């Protein structure tokens, strides 16, 4: 009877191990598929390259975890490769999320985020378990990745809190970004809690990552435009409440006043939108519907106000009006005279005389 129970226990254990191996392996395979899918997206974008790198690094990391548990002797070079991939996952995802949300151009400084992972890759044949990983190397790696995971959660919080950011993304993109960040943070935390806190099994991270990765695949296949970084349609601004639109108008006006963008003769709606962290169509909507004028008139109203202030200031009393107009962002005198009269109902010369004599 005792032998029968022992045999039953061993059989159950073996089945459990096979299930773990299958689930973790499927998660790694699905991650590899998403890496290839992101890389081969027909509308190439560096954000897709970051996403592809992230999923490929996750694939290597999960594969390393599986081999570590189920192989009696896992090659040391592959263990180091897994840890190098682990070091790349955090930076790749954080930079992807950052550029997804804020539409920033790639900066050469971004490469510094990948230095730890690249260094580990360069020393793949030299690092040992007892001589590096067990004396602080793995601990440093886990803390390093937790910092990036927390950074991703902070960006997610900003995204969910700022309505002006949310309106710029489709509903599918919001779900995609939320699951991507939460799933990766969960995986990173479970690796951290296994080694640093000692409270979770080693393979719990790869096992729990499977539903996240499959849900991400489902969202992506149903909404392939996510990888084309298509923002919400322009009528998405109409979904904003009056309070939200008013807040955006206030932000836009404060940006113009503080950064004095109007002084630049080459100021465009795109530059104003970037400075105010808004999409151009949203700037256009706010200027037209809330402030109540076209963008050229909106821009010229600030320039005219700057000219008016200088025309009555003692320091500019002997400065030619034309020079003042050019300094305040106008390209031509005809455009200046037209804009000035439209705002004040008077010519610049007449306005200056009236103000000085008063």
Least confident of 10-14, 97-101, 229-233, 298-302: 10-14
Is 3.30.40 the CATH classification of the domain at 294-358? Answer: no
Mean pLDDT to the nearest integer, 279-306? 88
Residues whose CB falls within 8 Å of the CB of residue 258, separated by 6 or more in sequence, listed in order? none
Q: What is the per-residue pLDDT for 69?
A: 83
Could you report the per-residue pLDDT of 52-91, keeping only the tens digit for each?
Answer: 999 999 999 999 988 888 877 889 999 999 999 999 999 9
Give the dihedral sign, CA 42/47/50/56: negative
Task: Report in angstroms the alpha-carbon separations of 90 from 60, 112, 148.
Answer: 14, 13, 5
> Do the Cβ atoms of 271 and 153 come closer than 8 Å?
no
Position with higher pLDDT, 281 vs 80:
80
Q: Is the pLDDT of residue 8 over 70?
A: no
Q: Right CATH number for 2-228 from 1.10.150, 1.10.287, 1.20.1070, 3.40.390?
A: 1.20.1070
Q: Per-domain residue ranges for the chain?
A: 2-228, 233-292, 294-358
pLDDT band (50, 70, 90) for residue 131: very high
- pTM, two decimals, is 0.66
Q: Rounded to whole angstroms, how far apart are CA atoms 132 and 83?
A: 12
Q: What is the per-residue pLDDT for 10?
A: 37
């Amino acid at each position: 009877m005792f032998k029968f129970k022992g045999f039953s226990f061993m059989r159950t254990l073996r089945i459990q191990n096979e299930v773990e191996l299958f689930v973790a392996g499927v998660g790694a395979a699905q991650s590899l598929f998403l890496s290839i899918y992101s890389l081969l997206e027909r509308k190439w974008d560096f954000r897709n390259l970051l996403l592809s790198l992230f999923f490929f690094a996750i694939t290597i990391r999960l594969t390393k975890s599986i081999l570590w548990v189920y192989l009696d002797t896992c090659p040391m070079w592959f263990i180091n490769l897994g840890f190098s991939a682990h070091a790349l996952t955090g930076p790749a995802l954080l930079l992807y999320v950052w550029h997804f949300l804020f539409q920033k151009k790639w900066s050469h400084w971004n490469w510094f985020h990948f230095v730890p992972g690249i260094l580990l890759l360069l020393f793949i044949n030299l690092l040992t378990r007892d001589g590096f990983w067990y004396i602080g190397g793995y601990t440093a790696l886990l803390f390093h990745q937790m910092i990036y995971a927390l950074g991703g959660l902070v960006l997610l919080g900003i995204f969910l809190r700022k309505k002006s950011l949310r309106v710029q993304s489709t509903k599918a993109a919001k779900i995609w970004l939320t699951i991507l960040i939460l799933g990766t943070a969960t995986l990173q935390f479970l690796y951290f809690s296994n080694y640093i806190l000692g409270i979770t099994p080693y393979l719990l991270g790869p096992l729990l990552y499977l539903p996240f990765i499959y849900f991400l695949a489902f969202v992506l296949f149903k909404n392939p435009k996510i990888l084309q970084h298509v923002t919400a349609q322009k009528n998405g601004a109409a979904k904003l409440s009056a309070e939200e639109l008013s807040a955006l108008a206030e932000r836009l006006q404060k940006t113009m006043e503080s950064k004095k963008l109007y002084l630049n003769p080459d100021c465009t709606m795109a530059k104003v939108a970037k400075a105010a962290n808004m999409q151009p169509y949203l700037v256009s909507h706010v200027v037209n519907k809330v402030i109540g004028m076209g963008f050229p008139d909106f821009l010229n109203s600030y320039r005219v106000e700057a000219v008016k202030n200088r025309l009555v200031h003692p320091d500019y009393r002997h400065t030619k009006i034309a020079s003042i107009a050019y300094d305040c962002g106008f390209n031509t005198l005809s455009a200046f005279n037209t804009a000035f009269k439209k705002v004040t109902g008077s010519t610049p010369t007449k306005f200056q005389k009236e103000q000085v004599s008063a």
